């Protein structure tokens, strides 16, 4: 009697593989950008009821994906500029994938060191995982964990982001200035970050925002010439970085807030200025505004730091992304910009990002964390923490502005 033929099982479906595409950085009309900002805030407040909002390039309308009946009701109040569509995965579910597929939570995934970035693809209600190489074992592990349709894999062999680590500043401390000396006991001195955005602290105190990876254990800050004491950062409560791991949650918070540290300035002040211009020939501009909303795709901006000076021509091409830096640390929930020409350098970390207004004053947008092609030129990428995340990270602070 002939043996019965065994039916061959079809291989399980794998994730979609993508090639890197040029960033679409068309600037949004401001009414659309504001409508998207409102939709993003709503989705952040109700992450189980909504997906991640996005702008339909064909219609120019903001699309707000809904998951629950509550989401449907809340979306109906957003006006004619926002349309709602049902989606399978909520923002909370997408964020869980975005955060779980990179850094320490992905340590059990084979070849996880090749995973360099994760971001939400709102249009397709999935997460995109960027790798500089892909292996079958990695894809199988991610598919088993999340399901093949929950993510796509972008393969970019050249992608290698790195964190970026004007001197005689103080006692009136300005943004973009200092090659700061940071004393951390018992580890000695760390030199090589820029000051960022001058801020008010509760109680009419002065402060300065910079990058968290500049002070992962807190510490005492001095100017680049080590002649003026600037202030101090409290470990854990006023910085959100852990050496070897990356972004951490601040006490009592459930959202990652990029790469931040808050310096309290007990004796001097933080001024209303940031340094602009070149390293050798700097000048200052008054801070005239806080950015009126979170950064959106297409926004143009500049950054400034002690290593490269002012660099303009950046355009935002994504936000809310996680990046694995070349040292293995993961920065979570930052904004990404790109340009061609001179790139940021080691030492620009902590400096401000901003928009230059028509009156010559600046509108502060965030704090520089790192980039790709550091100290080089050509195709440049830049990553910064949105200033609105800084305000949420440290309640009660506000940038020093002179409107």
- Judge contact between 303 and 355, C-beta under 8 A: no
pLDDT of residue 8: 42
The C-alpha atoms of residue 152 and residue 384 are separated, in whole angstroms, by 24
Q: Is the pLDDT of residue 283 over 90?
A: no
305 and 370 Cβ atoms separated by less than 8 Å: no
| Model pLDDT, residue 380 | 96
Count of CA atoms in the C-beta half-sphere (13 A) of 256: 25
Residue 224: pLDDT band by 50, 70, 90 thresholds?
A: low
Give the pLDDT confidence score for residue 78 in this predicted structure. 84
Query: Residue 309: pLDDT above 80?
Result: yes
What sign does the CA torsion over 169, 174, 179, 180 have? positive
Is pLDDT of 355 > 60?
A: yes
User: How far from 144 is each of 89, 116, 132, CA to CA, in Å?
Assistant: 17, 20, 21
> pLDDT class for 3, splitting at 50, 70, 90?
very low
Tell me what percent of the residues of the chain surpass a pLDDT of 90: 69
- How many H helices and E strands in the chain? 5, 27
- What pLDDT is attached to residue 6? 41
Predicted TM-score (pTM) of the model is: 0.86
% of the chain with per-residue pLDDT over 70: 89
> CA 391, CA 293: separation in Å to the nearest integer?
12
Lowest mean pLDDT among 22-31, 81-90, 344-353: 22-31
Span 163-399 CATH architecture: Beta Barrel (2.40)
pLDDT of residue 223: 67
Domain-wise residue ranges, the chain? 15-159, 163-399
Placement of tokens 């993508």 in the chain: 18
The answer on pLDDT for 32 being more than 50 is: yes
Mean pLDDT of all residues in 166-186 = 62
Is the distance from CB of 274 to CB of 352 less than 8 angstroms?
Answer: yes
Which range scores top for mean pLDDT: 199-203, 268-272, 297-301?
297-301
- Give the pLDDT of residue 33: 94
Beta bridge partners of 303: 311, 353
């Amino acid at each position: 009697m002939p043996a019965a033929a065994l039916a061959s099982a079809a291989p399980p479906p794998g994730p979609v593989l993508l090639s890197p595409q040029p960033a679409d950085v068309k600037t949004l009309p401001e009414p659309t950008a504001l409508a998207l900002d409102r939709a993003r805030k709503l989705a952040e407040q109700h992450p189980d009821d909504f997906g991640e909002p996005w702008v339909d390039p064909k219609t120019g309308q903001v699309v707000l994906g809904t998951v629950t009946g509550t989401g449907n009701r809340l979306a109906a109040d957003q006006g004619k500029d926002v349309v709602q569509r049902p989606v399978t995965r909520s923002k909370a579910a997408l964020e869980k994938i975005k955060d779980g597929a990179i850094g320490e939570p992905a340590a059990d995934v084979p070849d996880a060191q090749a995973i360099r970035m994760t971001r939400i693809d709102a249009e397709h209600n999935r997460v995109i995982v960027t790798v500089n190489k892909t292996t079958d074992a990695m894809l199988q592990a991610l598919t088993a964990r999340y399901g093949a349709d929950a993510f796509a894999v972008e393969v970019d062999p050249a992608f290698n982001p790195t964190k970026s680590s004007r001197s005689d500043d103080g006692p009136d401390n300005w943004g973009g200035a200092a090659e700061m000396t940071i004393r951390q006991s018992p580890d000695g001195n760390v030199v090589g970050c820029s000051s960022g955005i001058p801020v008010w602290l509760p109680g009419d105190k002065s402060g300065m925002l910079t990058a968290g990876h500049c002070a992962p254990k807190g510490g005492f800050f001095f100017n680049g010439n080590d002649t003026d004491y600037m202030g101090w950062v409290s470990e854990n409560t006023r910085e959100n970085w852990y050496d070897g791991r990356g972004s951490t949650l601040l006490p009592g918070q459930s959202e990652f807030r990029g790469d931040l540290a808050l310096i309290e300035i007990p004796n001097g002040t933080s001024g209303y200025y940031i340094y602009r211009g070149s390293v050798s020939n700097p000048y200052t501009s008054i801070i005239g505004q806080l950015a009126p909303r979170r950064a959106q795709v297409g926004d143009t901006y500049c950054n400034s730091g002690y290593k490269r000076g002012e660099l303009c021509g950046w355009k935002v091409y994504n936000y809310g992304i996680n990046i694995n830096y070349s040292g293995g640390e993961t920065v979570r929930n930052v904004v990404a910009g790109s340009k061609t020409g001179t790139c940021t350098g080691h030492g620009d970390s902590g400096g401000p990002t901003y928009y230059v207004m028509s009156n010559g004053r600046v509108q502060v947008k965030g704090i520089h964390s790192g980039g790709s092609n550091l100290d080089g030129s050509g195709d440049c990428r830049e990553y910064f923490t949105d200033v609105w995340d800084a305000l949420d990270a440290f309640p009660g602070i506000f940038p020093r502005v002179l409107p």
